[in-house]
Amino acid sequence: MTTTAESVSKIIIETLLENPRVPRNISPESKIIEDLEFDSLAVMNFVMEIEDKLDVSVPLDHLTDVRTIHDLAEAIVSLK
């Protein structure tokens, strides 16, 4: 199966929704810090979960330009 930003976004959203504190109406364009109210630690912990789901390591320095769920998906696809 080819991994696309769309398919990874879907997995990210599914994983986020497992957390009851995350708003229900999130989309690939949701901003991780502002819309999800994640602090820096929560972002890093969440990325760790996604890494293990997709068996990929996302170096933290790759996250500096990530604002939205779609940005994160693209960063992961570029590493696959």
Partner 1 sequence: MDIFTKFEPLDNKIDILLSNSKHNPFGTVIDTIISPTVGIINGKETLLFGTNNYLGLSQSEPAKQAASHAAIRYGVGTTGSRIANGSYSQHQSLEDEIKNFFHKRSCMVFSTGYQATLGMVSTLAGKDDFLFLDADCHASIYDGSRMSQAQIIRFRHNDPDDLRKRLRRVKNIKGVKLVVVEGVYSMLGDIIPLKEFVDVKKEENAYLMIDEAHSFGIFGDHGRGIAEKENVEQDIDFVVGTFSKSLGTVGGFCVSDYPQFETLRYCTRPYMFTASLPPEVIAATRENLNIIQNQPKLRHKLTANASRFYHALQQEGFQTGPDISPVISVILDDVAQAAQFWDKVLELGAYVNLSLPPATPDHRPLLRASIAATHENDQIDKLVSIYVQSAKEIGIPLGRN
Task: Please give the residue ranges that form the binding site for partner 1 (CB under 8 A).
Answer: 39-42, 44-45, 48, 51, 55-57, 59-62
Q: What would you measure as the largest C-alpha separation in the chain, in angstroms?
A: 33
Q: 27: which 2 tokens?
A: 């989309």
Nearer to partner 1, 21 or 24 (CB): 21
Query: Cα–Cα distance between 51 and 61 in angstroms, integer?
Result: 15
Nearer to partner 1, 6 or 80 (CB): 80
Shortest reach from residue 67's CB to partner 1, in Å: 15
Shortest reach from residue 75's CB to partner 1, in Å: 13
C-alpha dihedral sign at 76, 7, 52, 39? positive
